[in-house]
A and B are shown apart, each in its own frame.
Chain A
Amino acid sequence: MNKRILTLVLVVMAMVVLSALPAAAQDDVFRVAAVAPSATNDLAFSQSMYKALTMLDEEMGDGFDFVFQENTFVVDDAAVALREWASSGEYDLIIAHGSQYGSIIEELAPEFPEVSFAWGTDVNTYGLDNVFAYTAAADQGGYLNGAMAAYMSESGTIGVVGPIEVGDAKLYIDGFVAGAQAVNPDVQVLVNYIQSFSDVPLATEAANTFVANGADILTGSAQMVVGPIAVAKENGLLWFGTQASQAELAEGAGVMFQVYRWDTILRDMIEKIQGGTLGGEAYTLTLANGGLQMVMGQAGG
């Protein structure tokens, strides 16, 4: 008799445990997993997303949780993490923060139709209704930065240290050049794409070379700009930034920064997912929708 009761209790317990397992994603906590190519403290692309998730975490308290895998520049490594997260069924939203991850999302999303994915920077949802795409109209802040820079430049020469001529870096730099030329058609904007997002030594010497050639203002995009920022400070030049605020590092040199506010679109995605819509939409951060913000540095007055 006792044995039967014991068996019954065990069976009931097992059923409770088993039924609770797949329900993990349906509890009250909204769980996000994100992968990014560089460090969460890169003062640039990855930090902008990390900061957005941290903001949501503070806002939503116990109702929000996220994991963040940084420094995953290699696409294959990101693919492993993304697949693991998707198959665990524990996450309400999986973010692939880097345009190089597109092909993984295209492959993974149809396999896990009940999981919501977001990736950027791009506008391509691959026609899948569980994929969000997001990008930033970085040319808008670039234009403002460029116009301001041309207005402030005394030597008439501005140096731009770019990474690889793609994505939001290219948008920003194209916008910057257009803005500068709109204010002063004679201004010389020298652009050097150093073919790397992370090579600080090379970015530094690129900036030094601009200084030697008369530049009095520098700008650039990607995480290697910490080098050029130090060059601007040491030589008494002005610095314009993008992606995240670099005001603290660029103390005394930083004029204006274009900051990505991914939190604005993440809030909308969370609302949609909670309402049962898992994707199918492409977002663009702009100055008009508040997704892009201009932040003044000390040197901006």
Chain B
Amino acid sequence: MIENILAPSVFATCLRLATPYLFAAIGEMFGQRSGVLNLGVEGIMLMGAFFAHYVVLSTGSLLLGVIGALIAGLVMGIAVAFVNVTLKAEQGISGIGVYLFGLGMSELLFKTLVGTPRSVSGFPPLHIPVLSDIQFLGIGQIFFQHNLLVYVAFALVPISAYVLRRTPLGLMIRAVGQNPEAADAMGISVTRVRYMTVIFGAMMAGLAGASLSIALLNVFQQNLTSGLGFIAIALVYFGRWRPFGVMLGALLFSFVNALQLQISAIGIDVPSEFAVMAPYVITIIALVFASKQTEKPTALTKPFDRGE
């Protein structure tokens, strides 16, 4: 029974489910570490998902699809940074605007340019030689038979941790998020750093969308992301603004989700309402007992004013 519930495929599903969260949440984490909350992640993901899908549909090139998603993220990111950093808008409100824009615009473009849901051949699973054949505990199936974007998403975690902790750039980002006045006095351009992190975050959100529309699902439909972007923002808080914390949250949430899918698939009769609730409930419980030691940027959501 237990070995049925905890089959290797469940862990593989967990890694796939975690992929869009990782892209979106790691990107969002950089923005927040520099003091900018971008609530519009969901809208940017939708734009990225649409453009990736549309480009692949028209050109057949997955590389161009990824570039399309990154450009969509870049453009949205510049807009978000301009509104939040330059115009110093209320970040909680402007983010909702960005979300609604992305939701409506991606749908309009989809309807006009594509019309009806169509599938593309997205990133195929890469069977990594030798490693993917490991039978022991199903390790090959769990870790080494995924599509390229899954590996990229997980590679992003240690890289982000390194950049944030060990590089001058990371120090600048943290300084701007913790104490923008001091950073400014040290000659760091708060505005430039925030633009950079917000735009990077938006490009990662675009990539998160692409990971759905041309790698994991290979279709596009209006509101394809259905709330993933908002969960990604919650995961940044859950992960206490640390890349490995974010990954842990994404994995926990995805694992419980994969588990509830497996429980229904092998015919165990659990009311599906409870099963669907479980990931949220368990994540909240984990949050309550999680370490209170926080790296929350003190300047989060606070626009910087040089006071000249």
Report which A residues bind B (CB closer than 8 A).
38-39, 41-43, 71, 159, 165, 188, 190-196, 198-202, 204-206, 208-210, 212-213, 223-224, 226-227, 229-230, 233-234, 248-249
C-alpha spacing A145/B216, complex, angstroms: 27
For A233, the chain B residues whose CB sits under 8 A away are 119
Query: Once A and B bind, how many residue pairs between them come within 8 Å at the CB atom?
Result: 116
B265 with A201: CB separation less than 8 A: no
B218 with A205: CB separation less than 8 A: no
For B222, the chain A residues whose CB sits under 8 A away are 38-39, 41-42, 71
C-alpha spacing A223/B116, complex, angstroms: 12
Q: Verify if B2 is at the interface (C-beta below 8 Å from A).
A: no
For A230, the chain B residues whose CB sits under 8 A away are 119, 217-219
A41 with B111: CB separation less than 8 A: yes
- 28 A-B residue pairings within 8 Å (CB atoms): A41-B116, A42-B117, A43-B117, A71-B222, A190-B264, A190-B267, A192-B264, A192-B265, A193-B272, A195-B273, A198-B226, A199-B227, A201-B224, A204-B217, A205-B16, A205-B258, A205-B261, A209-B10, A209-B13, A210-B265, A213-B7, A213-B9, A213-B262, A213-B265, A223-B221, A226-B221, A229-B219, A249-B118
**14 other A-B residue contacts (CB within 8 Å) besides A201-B226, A210-B265:** A71-B222, A190-B264, A193-B272, A195-B272, A195-B276, A200-B219, A202-B257, A204-B217, A206-B264, A209-B10, A212-B9, A226-B117, A226-B119, A230-B219
Q: Verify if B84 is at the interface (C-beta below 8 Å from A).
A: no
Of all chain B residues, which has the CB nearest A41?
B116
B276 with A249: CB separation less than 8 A: no
The smallest beta-carbon distance between A273 and chain B, in angstroms, is: 31
Knowing A41-B117, A233-B119, the reply to whether A201 touches B225 (Cβ < 8 A) is yes
C-alpha spacing A201/B17, complex, angstroms: 8
Which size class do B's interface residues fall under? 35 or more
For B219, the chain A residues whose CB sits under 8 A away are 200, 226-227, 229-230, 249
C-alpha spacing A208/B223, complex, angstroms: 21
A188 with B267: CB separation less than 8 A: yes
Q: Give me the 5 closest cross-chain CB pairs, A-B, nearest first.
A: A212-B9, A192-B264, A195-B276, A209-B261, A193-B272
Knowing A190-B267, A192-B264, the reply to whether A201 touches B212 (Cβ < 8 A) is yes
Of all chain B residues, which has the CB nearest A47?
B116
A205 with B17: CB separation less than 8 A: yes
Partner of B272 from the list A39, A165, A234 (CB cut-off 8 Å) is: A165
For B83, the chain A residues whose CB sits under 8 A away are none
C-alpha spacing A72/B267, complex, angstroms: 34
Q: Verify if B107 is at the interface (C-beta below 8 Å from A).
A: yes
Q: Verify if B20 is at the interface (C-beta below 8 Å from A).
A: yes
C-alpha spacing A208/B283, complex, angstroms: 23
The smallest beta-carbon distance between A152 and chain B, in angstroms, is: 20
C-alpha spacing A190/B107, complex, angstroms: 33
The smallest beta-carbon distance between B112 and chain A, in angstroms, is: 11
CB contacts under 8 Å to A, within B173-216, are 212, 216
The smallest beta-carbon distance between B8 and chain A, in angstroms, is: 9
Q: B243-272 vs A: 1/0 string, CB under 8 Å?
A: 000000000000001100110111100001
CB contacts under 8 Å to A, within B1-20, are 7, 9-10, 12-13, 16-17, 20
For A42, the chain B residues whose CB sits under 8 A away are 117, 221-222
A191 with B17: CB separation less than 8 A: no
C-alpha spacing A38/B221, complex, angstroms: 11
Most buried by A among B9, B20, B258, B272: B272
For A199, the chain B residues whose CB sits under 8 A away are 226-227
For B265, the chain A residues whose CB sits under 8 A away are 159, 190, 192, 206, 209-210, 212-213
Q: Verify if B60 is at the interface (C-beta below 8 Å from A).
A: no
For A206, the chain B residues whose CB sits under 8 A away are 261, 264-265
Partner of B116 from the list A188, A193, A204, A248 (CB cut-off 8 Å) is: A248
Q: Verify if B158 is at the interface (C-beta below 8 Å from A).
A: no
B9 with A209: CB separation less than 8 A: yes
Of all chain A residues, which has the CB nearest B8?
A212
The smallest beta-carbon distance between A75 and chain B, in angstroms, is: 17
B228 with A201: CB separation less than 8 A: yes
Partner of A191 from the list B228, B264, B276 (CB cut-off 8 Å) is: B264
The smallest beta-carbon distance between B141 and chain A, in angstroms, is: 9
For B116, the chain A residues whose CB sits under 8 A away are 41, 43, 248-249
Of all chain A residues, which has the CB nearest B115?
A41
Partner of A213 from the list B20, B111, B266, B276 (CB cut-off 8 Å) is: B266
C-alpha spacing A248/B80, complex, angstroms: 38
Most buried by A among B10, B116, B118, B228: B116
For B273, the chain A residues whose CB sits under 8 A away are 195
Q: B266-301 vs A: 1/0 string, CB under 8 Å?
A: 110000110010000000000000000000000000
Of all chain A residues, which has the CB nearest B125?
A234
Partner of B226 from the list A159, A200, A209, A234 (CB cut-off 8 Å) is: A200
The smallest beta-carbon distance between B229 and chain A, in angstroms, is: 11
For B118, the chain A residues whose CB sits under 8 A away are 248-249
The smallest beta-carbon distance between B5 and chain A, in angstroms, is: 11
Of all chain B residues, which has the CB nearest A162?
B272
For A195, the chain B residues whose CB sits under 8 A away are 272-273, 276
Knowing A202-B257, A230-B119, the reply to whether A192 touches B272 (Cβ < 8 A) is yes
